[in-house]
Amino acid sequence: MDRYLSIACLQYTSTKDELITLKKIKRLIEKALEAGVEVIALPECATSLQENPFLTKKLAKHEDENISLQSLKEVAKSNSIFVLIGSLPIKSGNKLVNRSFLVGPKGDVLYKYDKIHLYDVNLPNGDIYRESETYLCGDKAVIATIKKNKINIGMTICYDVRFPNLYHDLALNGAEIIVVPSAFSNVTGPFHWHTLLKARAIETGSYIIAPAQTGIHQCGRISYGHSLIISPWGEILRDAKKKVGIIYAKINLNEVVIARKAIPALNSKKMYSTNF
């Protein structure tokens, strides 16, 4: 029996004001609904990006006070759809967590995932990012199971994509789709984005769904765009390029079974000795 899922990625440019960004998101969701999708995926930093960690911390709220979360829960409920909120800054103690939410058709949070690998880098152009100054890292991998036919979705966020062991573990534990909501740097994006995501799809025999931010943000940051939907064989099924808009596809989960049978890399881990 074929198992299908219709899924859309939204691509846009988050502003500093979550209410303004939410208006953009809702317009794109209307377009996605016209295509009859079941799951709508938003990028990392789904509703706001600030100039500095101080403002991010100052504006962050706990889950029950977060306007974006409550608004998107209502969108999911009123349209009976799943909404993946790529990430929101959520208060946790003296710091924040960069938390992704999967909201169900009844408007309830079904699963949540805190970004494990934090973006602490020194880019060649001089840009320096230290997410660990703002966020606590997560310590738990998450697989969401949705619908009656139990479709399994591994949850990751952006910089996680550079750590293949996480994706390998998600696939070994049943993930058929792995989501990678991102606000990927325009410096590394042209060299790394497509290659990393295709590699994670091929290595795990999983669908990769990667909604991304695009363009110049009010805070001055530039995001690479190119939201992608990639097959378990590594074929790019949809690429949003740099444009604001949506991409969507009806994916067949049987393709995961076919890819993993053809190349059973997940089941071929070997132990070996070294001379170093």
Name the residues annotated as catalytic. Answer: 44, 115, 158
| Alpha carbon of residue 134 to chain centroid | 19
Compute the chain's Rg from CA coordinates.
Answer: 18
Q: How many CB atoms lie within 10 A of CB 257?
A: 14
Longest Cα–Cα distance of the chain, Å, equals: 61
Torsion, Cα of 20, 51, 54, 72 (10° steps): 30
> What ranges make up the beta strands (E) of the chain?
4-11, 39-41, 82-92, 95-103, 109-114, 120-122, 128-130, 135-136, 142-146, 151-155, 177-179, 207-210, 214-216, 222-224, 228-230, 236-239, 245-252
